[in-house]
């Protein structure tokens, strides 16, 4: 599907949160399909283990990691600045659900910074390389568990912080921003779609009080399908669950979507 090169016949893919339950499975499945895969992680020991496990499981040696805190814009920009070549697939997957309200060193509420701004900053920082490598695909791992967005209080400065509410807001924002980013990148043959991955037992879901009845590989199936399948090559700005396009009521409020995107670009 992607322009092949001698060293990466399927293309180059970047996966954030690739030491987590779903992200690691996404990275492994993409490596299994022949992609050169870069795992964006924040913990070196976990990153090294994930790279080894994926290389062994797939026989694909073109797997490496980069240490980046995706809640920090400067760290993302530094990664984009040192990126060595093309990029065909970007999977924004890293997310966090702290039980107490936390802030980044820049003073941004941590779920908003990681789960929302991290997706926008990654896509913006890599948009030039994605366009230059087109056709390209961005997949935003969101959730069906979404809602509660308050555009006047995105950082829970007025509302009392609740990690479930902050998480639901962040996943609603991911779905809305998918449309804004898709509109921006469509002329340059880069698609942007959002999905619910599945209910998977993970640190993130445990923090929210949930377990999960699907395996990490099942959770990775829809993101990987969106990243690779010829059937969705032309789809952009859409939301999917279990490899099916769904109506997304959050994406229908165009004014709020545009306002949210403007706010995010201002950070
Ligand atoms: N699990 C579910 O049932 C479920 C359902 C719907 C949607 N989702 C979505 O699926 C995605 C993956 O979730 P998961 O269940 O696999 O959670 P997870 O196992 O807790 O993985 C989250 C990943 O994000 C990374 N991360 C968090 N903050 C980061 C930061 N500031 N910089 C870089 N990386 C950071 C974590 O790194 P560390 O390994 O260093 O902690 C971890 O690798 C999320 O977007 C989530 O919203 C999950």
Give dist(CA 242, CA 235) in Å, integer: 15
pLDDT at 250: 95
pLDDT at 4: 47
Catalytic entry in 65, 119, 167, 239: 167
> What is the number of helices (H) and of strands (E) in the chain?
10, 8
pLDDT at 1: 39
Cβ(73) – ligand 1 distance below 6 Å: no
Give dist(CA 147, CA 133) in Å, integer: 34
Which residue's CA is minimally distant from atom 19 of ligand 1? 20
Helix (H, G, I), strand (E, B), or coil: what is residue 108? Answer: coil
Domains of the chain are 12-265 (3.40.50.720)
pLDDT at 50: 98
Q: What does residue 128 show for φ and ψ, rounded to 5 degrees?
A: -65, -45
Which residue's CA is minimally distant from atom 1 of ligand 1? 200
Give start and end residues of each alpha helix (H) in 92-208.
110-111, 118-125, 127-132, 163-185, 203-207
Per-residue pLDDT of the chain (267 residues; tens, 9 = 90+): 344 455 556 999 999 999 999 999 999 999 999 999 999 999 999 999 999 999 999 999 999 999 999 999 999 999 999 999 999 999 999 999 999 999 999 999 999 999 999 999 999 999 999 999 999 999 999 999 999 999 999 999 999 999 999 999 999 999 999 999 999 999 999 999 999 999 999 999 999 999 999 999 999 999 999 999 999 999 999 999 999 999 999 999 999 999 999 999 999
Sheet with 244-246: list strands edge to edge: 63-67, 36-41, 12-16, 89-92, 136-141, 190-196, 239-241, 244-246
Active site residue 167: yes
pLDDT at 163: 98
pLDDT at 7: 55
- Provide the pairing of β-strand 190-196 with 239-241: parallel
User: Taking a C-beta distance cutoff of 8 angstroms, is the pair 164, 111 a contact?
Assistant: no
Cβ(170) – ligand 1 distance below 6 Å: no
pLDDT at 8: 59
Q: Is the peptide bond preceding residue 135 cis, with omega within 30 degrees of 0?
A: yes
The preferred substitution site among 14, 20, 98 for testing ligand 1, maximizing ligand atoms within 8 Å of CB, is 20
Give dist(CA 214, CA 8) in Å, integer: 31
- Provide the pairing of β-strand 244-246 with 239-241: antiparallel
Cβ(42) – ligand 1 distance below 6 Å: yes
pLDDT at 62: 98
């Amino acid at each position: 599907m992607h322009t092949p090169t001698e060293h990466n016949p399927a293309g180059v893919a970047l996966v954030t949160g690739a030491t987590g339950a779903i992200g690691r499975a996404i990275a492994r499945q993409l490596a299994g399909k022949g992609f050169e895969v870069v795992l964006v992680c924040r913990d070196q020991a976990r990153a090294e283990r994930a790279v080894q496990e994926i290389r062994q499981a797939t026989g694909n040696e073109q797997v490496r990691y980069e240490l980046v805190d995706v809640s920090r814009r400067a760290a993302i920009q530094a990664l984009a600045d040192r990126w060595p070549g093309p990029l065909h697939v970007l999977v924004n997957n890293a997310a966090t659900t702290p039980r107490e309200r936390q802030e980044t060193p820049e003073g941004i509420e941590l779920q908003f910074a990681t789960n929302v701004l991290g997706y926008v900053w990654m896509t913006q920082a890599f948009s030039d390389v994605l366009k230059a490598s087109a056709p390209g695909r961005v997949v935003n791992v969101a959730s069906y568990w979404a809602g509660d967005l308050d555009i006047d209080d995105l950082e829970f400065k007025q509302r009392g912080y609740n990690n479930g509410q902050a998480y639901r807001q962040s996943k609603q924002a991911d779905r809305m921003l998918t449309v804004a980013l898709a509109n921006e990148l469509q002329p340059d043959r880069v698609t942007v779609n959002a999905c619910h991955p599945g209910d998977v037992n993970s640190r993130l879901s445990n923090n929210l009080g949930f377990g999960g009845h699907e395996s990490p590989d099942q959770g990775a199936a829809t993101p990987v399908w969106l990243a690779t399948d010829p059937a969705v090559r032309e789809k952009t700005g859409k939301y999917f669950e279990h490899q099916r396009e769904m109506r997304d009521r959050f994406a229908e409020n165009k004014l709020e979507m545009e306002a949210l995107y403007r706010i995010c670009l201002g950070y």
